[in-house]
Amino acid sequence: MVTGGNSGIGYATAKELKSQGATVIITGRRKEAIATAATELDIEGLVADQGSITAIEHLAQSVKQQYGKIDILFINAGIVGGANIETATEEIFDQVMNVNFKGAYFTLSKFIPLLNDGASVVFLSSNTASMHGANASIYSSSKAALNSVMKAAAIELAPRKIRVNAVSPGPTQTEILNKLGLDEAARKNLDDWMLERVPLKEFGVADDVAKMVAYFCGEAAKFITGAEIVMDGGMSL
């Protein structure tokens, strides 16, 4: 199961996992977007808002009824949101934390009973979890908290041979960057600013992140748990 699978890294990962023989379920908040993606990929699509605990519980019930158990859980859904600390509002804080941290936490929590022994869980984190830029305190904190949960979960689930890891991309060309609401000039300035800080001088691509997620889920990574792989072209160095 891939949460937030209707676009970007989630979509690419669903496609990659299917190409390797998995039966894939994607989830997302927008009914039409999920239906379109599921049709394009020829997989199952379920509507679920990761920011709602009730929706997560209903999702778990639906998956249990239709599929019983799962072998792979990619907790990918997330949103962007930022403000400097002085002017941050409770609304922005809650929006980001409810999806990126609380929602991800309880997605794992509610799906643990549905994981087969030997399953793989992967969180989509971010290189910002270990970076400290201005105006990114809420988003960065949500991802840092996620990495902490990942490590605790790796310990808790180790007796069942369930591995829990995280992939932390840097700047990646996905739809999420278009949701910042920037005009063309501001977006170009942001892209230029990010590229200046990436030693490899290029953006990441969703397909590469998808391959890393799939690697974590495969036999070659059977002795890896509690690990975070940073894919940012050296930006966090």
Every domain of the chain and the residues it spans: 2-231
pLDDT digits (tens, 9 = 90+) for 194-223: 899 999 999 999 999 999 999 999 999 999
pTM for the model = 0.94
Core vs surface per residue 199-237: b (16+ CB within 10 A) or e: eeeebbbbeebbebbbbbbeeebeeebbebbbbbbebbe
C-alpha 194 chain-centroid distance: 20
Looking at CATH, the fold of the domain delimited by 2-231 is given as Rossmann fold (3.40.50)
pLDDT digits (tens, 9 = 90+) for 102-138: 999 999 999 999 999 999 999 999 999 999 888 899 9
